[in-house]
């Protein structure tokens, strides 16, 4: 059963699926520029917006970015315990290539450029991008 007036998957269909991911960021404006652009390209839409944060939703899953007043200093480091990266399916090699080409204009830098687009192995066409705050995303081509 779904919430009244809100069509969507039945609870059994959602069991075990990711509900949301919340990222605490030190620069919300930069995150809106980088992650907001990328999520929009992947089909996410702005879901919630408030002075200290924003969320983007695709289907039943959403991604939250918040510049919380409780955030400790030090910034994000993908090499420390915690979140290393988010990985997204992308509709084919050409779309991965397009996103890589456009990403620098939105605050992203290509990682592992010497091995791109097969940094994850010969059978794994993907791009690894890092934004100005050190958050990494992996864009995996779906064939």
CATH architecture of 17-69+84-141: Roll (3.10)
Nearest to 124 by CA among 137, 138, 111, 135: 138
CB-based contacts of 87: which residues, under 8 Å, 6+ apart? 137, 138, 139, 140
pLDDT tens per residue, range 51-67: 999 999 999 999 999 99
* Alpha-carbon span 129 to 97, nearest angstrom: 12
Both ends of the chain: CA-CA distance in Å? 34
Structure confidence at residue 11 (pLDDT): 79
Structure confidence at residue 9 (pLDDT): 72
- Whether 54 and 28 have beta carbons less than 8 Å apart is answered as yes
* Alpha-carbon span 126 to 116, nearest angstrom: 7
Radius of gyration in angstroms for the set of CA atoms belonging to the chain, rounded to a whole number: 16
Band of the pLDDT at 5, cuts 50, 70, 90?
Answer: low
pLDDT tens per residue, range 73-117: 988 999 998 999 999 999 999 999 999 999 999 999 999 999 999
Question: Which pTM does this prediction carry?
Answer: 0.89
- Residues 25-53 have a mean pLDDT of 97
Which of 4-8, 57-61, 122-126, 128-132 bottoms out in mean pLDDT, i.e. has the lowest? 4-8
Cα torsion 115, 37, 49, 91: sign: negative
1 HSE (CA, 13 A, CB side):
2
Which of 15-19, 48-52, 96-100 bottoms out in mean pLDDT, i.e. has the lowest? 15-19
CB-based contacts of 35: which residues, under 8 Å, 6+ apart? 23, 56, 63, 65, 131, 135, 137
Tell me the domain boundaries of the chain: 17-69+84-141
Structure confidence at residue 2 (pLDDT): 45
């Amino acid at each position: 059963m779904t919430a009244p007036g809100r069509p969507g998957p039945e609870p059994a269909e959602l069991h075990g699926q990711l509900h949301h991911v919340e990222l605490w960021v030190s620069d919300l404006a930069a995150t809106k520029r980088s992650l907001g652009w990328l999520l929009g390209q992947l089909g996410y839409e702005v879901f919630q917006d408030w002075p200290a944060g924003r969320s983007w939703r695709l289907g039943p899953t959403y991604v939250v970015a918040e510049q919380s007043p409780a955030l400790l200093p030090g910034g994000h480091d993908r090499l420390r315990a915690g979140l290393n990266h988010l990985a997204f399916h992308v509709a084919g090699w050409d779309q991965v290539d397009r996103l890589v080409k456009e990403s620098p204009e939105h605050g992203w830098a290509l990682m592992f450029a010497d091995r791109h687009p097969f940094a994850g192995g010969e059978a794994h066409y993907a791009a690894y991008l890092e934004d100005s705050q050190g958050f990494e995303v992996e864009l995996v081509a779906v064939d």
